[in-house]
Amino acid sequence: MGPAAGVGLVGGDRAPAWGRIGTILGTVTMSADRSDPAKPGPAMATARLAPLYGALIANLVRLPIADKLQVKLEAADVARPRIIDGILTIRDPRSPTRSAKCASPTCPATGAKGLP
């Protein structure tokens, strides 16, 4: 796993924990001042919505981004040797016919299988 995908994955894992922290802060704020019955309302809303926001950020933003980055990094790992083989084939003083054969999905010189 690449570092970019790891950052998204860690952020996705930690977002629900930040929601729990929001719940604790809302609960503490709600219980701090009990003199006015209308005061706990906004703190209760914070305590109720923080876990929802944490779950939404994790499951709708961070984890899908980490998955997409992982797929792109794996595709780049597959394509990189093929690109290098192509560049080296162009650089070598070979016949154009052999270079064209190496541009096919399977290169007889290296046996590397290309992308579909």
- The answer to whether position 103 is within a domain reads no
In a domain, 109, yes or no: no
Per the structure, the complete domain to which residue 18 belongs is given by 3-77
- Asked whether residue 91 is assigned to any structural domain, the reply reads no
Q: What is the pTM of this model?
A: 0.59
Per-residue pLDDT at 42: 85
Q: Domain count for the chain, please give it.
A: 1
One-letter-per-residue 3-state SS of 11-72: HHHHHHHHHHHHHHHHHHHHHHCCCCCCCHHHHHHHHHHHHHHHHHHHHHHHHHHHHHHHHH
Residue 97 lies in a domain: no
pLDDT digits 0-9 by tens, 86-99: 787 777 776 666 66
pLDDT at 12 over 60: yes
Is residue 65 domain-resident? yes
Would residue 114 count as lying in a domain? Answer: no
Q: Which residues contact 48 (CB under 8 A, 6 or more apart)?
A: 23, 26
pLDDT at 64 exceeding the cut of 80: yes
pLDDT of the residue at 111: 47
Residue 54 lies in a domain: yes
Q: Is residue 16 part of a domain?
A: yes
